[in-house]
Amino acid sequence: MIIKSGQTKRILYVFNVSWFFLSHRRPFAQAAQDEGYDVHVAAAPLPGDAEKIEADGMTFHPLPFARRGMNPFNELKAIWSLYRLYAELKPDLIEHATIKPVMYGSLVAKLFSEIKIINWMTGLGYVFIANNLTGDILRTFIVQVYRFVFKRRFLKIIFENPDDRDHFIFRKVINKEQAVVIRGAGVDTELFKPSMQKVENVLIVLPARMLWDKGVGEFVDAARILKRENNIDARFALVGDCDGGNPASVSPDTLKGWENEGIIEWWGRRNDMPMVLAQAHIVCLPSYREGLPKSLLEAAASGLSIVTTDVPGCREVVRDRVNGLLVPVRDSKSLAIALRKLIESAELRATMGAKGREIVLNEFSERQTVAETLKTYEEFFV
């Protein structure tokens, strides 16, 4: 039992949008409830999400987070809403996730020195990937803000991979005592498991939001290269929705154009990913950088071979030529070569898929990551 004092501890999860809490943190919050925490969730709500959260016995608080844009009035409104919530709720522990909640929430929490803070860095995000002047300016600004807001007692930062942790320590954003590495949100290995329900032709799936920095363009280019080779008989499916709140979003018109050309299929957002992966033969994520992608954990748990990029986050899940193939970032030709290798060998796909399942069971199950996270909460109250 985590609660040592005999008094119920109140934990507040703060996210930019409700769907991300439901897809990545719901089991952690449910486990915290089982340990005796009074659980609250605050986020910008999407239709139906508040009802799902409250049906779990948690209390939901809507927040006016705008994921895109920096209108000063909107940003001040979000900060004021956080201040009012923290002052009224008086949580014992707050977990922030994604850039704005981490930045604004940590700033507001400096006014409440006894609140314990955990900032979950799900990845460094678009700002740390963008290779342009705007990205450079924003990166410099955000690093300076992080240095200020992370300087406090009772604060820990959860990183999903050691590269991100080392980057923050090297830039003196945090000290090493504040850093915790918990590799991803884990995966339900009973929900995601190998299946024999495969479609006839080899099906390669890219499961992600439709963002350029997820490698969507390189995936399409690789599909185009392979489709020019008449002896390649495979289908290429993009599974995910556009993200209007992200400047790297691929437009629906672009996606429909590729589909009309016959290069790829765009399936949009799916709420039945175990069934999607049950049909697939290969999962591909040519991302530019990740925290630790849940989509790759789900693919490995489902016994699928994987092609992904040799970048932080992705290489945490995929060991090259063991459970998948790693390729250079932004390299469509290398991606096509790797995909062709797996398309042409059912035996190699099966061997890599079995090894991926074994790796997930040993290192990345949801049970393991939940236990590590609850231990991090507990350390604040010992």
Tens digits of residue pLDDT in 200-240? 799 999 999 999 999 999 999 999 999 998 778 899 999 99
Residue 342 lies in a domain: yes
The candidate with the shortest Cα–Cα distance to 280, out of 263, 296, 299, 264, is 299
What average pLDDT does the segment 191-198 reach? 89
Residue 254 lies in a domain: yes
CATH for 308: 3.40.50.2000
Q: Which DSSP letter does residue 154 get? A: S
Indicate whether 171 and 258 sit together in one domain.
no
Which pLDDT value is given to residue 71? 81
Indicate whether 138 and 251 sit together in one domain.
no
Query: For residue 352, what are its two tokens?
Result: 């890599």
Q: Which domain holds residue 251?
A: 202-363
Indicate whether 251 and 146 sit together in one domain.
no
Q: What is the CB neighbour count within 10 angstroms for residue 108?
A: 24
Indicate whether 171 and 206 sit together in one domain.
no
Indicate whether 282 and 179 sit together in one domain.
no
Indicate whether 180 and 255 sit together in one domain.
no
Residue 196 lies in a domain: no
For the chain, give the mean pLDDT. 92
Residue 192 lies in a domain: no
Q: Count up the domains in the chain and report the number.
A: 2
Residue 210 lies in a domain: yes
Residue 193 lies in a domain: no
Indicate whether 355 and 226 sit together in one domain.
yes
Indicate whether 233 and 136 sit together in one domain.
no
Task: Say how far apart CA 380 and CA 250 lie, in whole Å.
Answer: 42
Which pLDDT value is given to residue 3? 42
Residue 350 lies in a domain: yes
Pairing relationship of beta strands 305-309 and 282-285 according to DSSP bridges: parallel
Q: Which residues pair with 13 in a beta bridge?
A: 41, 95
pLDDT in tens, 258-317: 999 999 999 999 999 999 999 999 999 999 999 999 999 999 999 999 999 999 999 999
The candidate with the shortest Cα–Cα distance to 284, out of 248, 230, 357, 235, is 235
Residue 5 lies in a domain: no
Q: Is the dihedral of CA 269, 207, 245, 98 positive or negative?
A: positive
Indicate whether 127 and 219 sit together in one domain.
no
The answer to which of 84-93, 194-203, 336-345 has the lowest mean pLDDT is: 194-203
Query: For residue 262, what are its two tokens?
Result: 């016959």
The candidate with the shortest Cα–Cα distance to 128, out of 308, 252, 287, is 287
Indicate whether 232 and 139 sit together in one domain.
no
Predicted confidence band of residue 67 (pLDDT cuts 50, 70, 90): low
pLDDT in tens, 307-344: 999 999 999 999 999 999 999 999 999 999 999 999 99
pLDDT in tens, 1-58: 344 445 789 999 999 999 999 999 999 999 999 999 999 999 999 999 999 999 999 9
Task: Say how far apart CA 380 and CA 154 lie, in whole Å.
Answer: 7
Predicted confidence band of residue 132 (pLDDT cuts 50, 70, 90): low
Indicate whether 322 and 350 sit together in one domain.
yes
Indicate whether 49 and 76 sit together in one domain.
yes
